[in-house]
Structure 1
Amino acid sequence: MRKNYVIIVAGGSGSRMNSDLPKQFLLLAGKPVLMHTIERFTRATSNPKIIVVLNESLLNYWKILGKEHHFEIPHAVVKGGNSRFQSVKNGLEKIFQLEADNLEQVGIAIHDGARPLISPNLIDDCFDALYEHQATVVAVQSTNSVRIGSVSESESIDRDSVWMIQTPQTFSAQVLKEAFLQSELASFTDDASVVEKLGYPIHIIPGDHKNIKITFEDDLKIAQLYLQ
């Protein structure tokens, strides 16, 4: 039977939130955003083991928050790196150590800590898709008209062919092990782009427009409304 893991990447800063506190620690419905995110994965029947990647300077603060909010969901914590690529790589190395003799039976999701509204059913869909595909992303089609180019010259494109990428992005462990042996490139904007560089096709799983990423202050207000 396959064993599932999720790496929840939570190393962002609060620079775009007008806050000194990183967005994953801001309160949403009375508790930190990151705690909501972790809880969503515990509700999934795919039952992934949880690894949280945090900036080293915030490890102790996370422990304090856990005590304050009586947060007891089992999860491992790994130190983050200087980039998302390095942070994910650190999380993967933890899994590779734990499952060194069983990688062919391991599925791994990678999820943004600041996406606290992910549906447990969608999480399950992502892991189920690994039985047919080695690399998947959650995405929603654009609801807006789309133009590509610069401010001085652009052209319209068919919005039905435009997908807005979300997380989780889910992969077989063996594919990720190969992909993250590569040197980091500026073109690696997400985990799928790392895998795609090796030539693996990326399968799209239709996502959920409610699966927003907390980036700006208004996002927190929207998330609060969705939780009511």
Structure 2
Amino acid sequence: MERIAILADEYSFEVINVPNQTQNKAEFPGYTEKLERAKSATTSDEAVVVGIATINKQALVLAVMDSFFMMGSLNTTAGARIKAGMKVALEKKLPFVIVTASGGARMQEGIYSLLQMNSILYMKQKLDDAGLLVMSLLTDPTMGGVSASFALNNDIVLAEKQAKIGFAGERVIKKTTNERLPVDFQTAEGLYSNGFVDQVIDRKNLKQVISQLLTLHA
């Protein structure tokens, strides 16, 4: 909700209600208890919230991921809510902006989480076909299956200053390659210098920059 307050006009955000679909289908040990702890520790029932909002009076659909709920933010509910937001954007012909923050697909839901990568990209293609703007804002961290699918595959890819962005963790890559990694490895600034990100933005300037981009693509 803090992220929404930074970006959206005051009182403009209206949640697109999609029921919580999270289930422990794989009977993963301790997962049900972990979900209850996450609900108690946050103000959310899951790791994504989606709604219609305005940014400097320009309407859009805004989706925000929350790694504080659970670092494996991408699961069945997250996928359902992001796709529902994309459907509303398609119906109302609105731009779609997603703020990513995730360690990747939630391992406790196994293949059900991984399927969200492709199904979200399928819905994103529908927005492309309709000529609608799709923008992502990568925040700290954006990792795993999120970065490997819909986070970087958009018309405009922005990143918050000093955000950590990548696929596998730095420690795993070091152990696998036995190579010294660059100082700016898996940073927003490093990705920008290599052409993966369109712009790196300080948090205080995010609303202004996104507003300008929405105006240019209206």
Q: TM-score, normalised by structure 2?
A: 0.29
Higher strand residue share: 1
Q: TM-score, normalised by structure 1?
A: 0.28
- Higher RCO, 1 or 2 (CA under 8 Å, sep at least 6)? 1
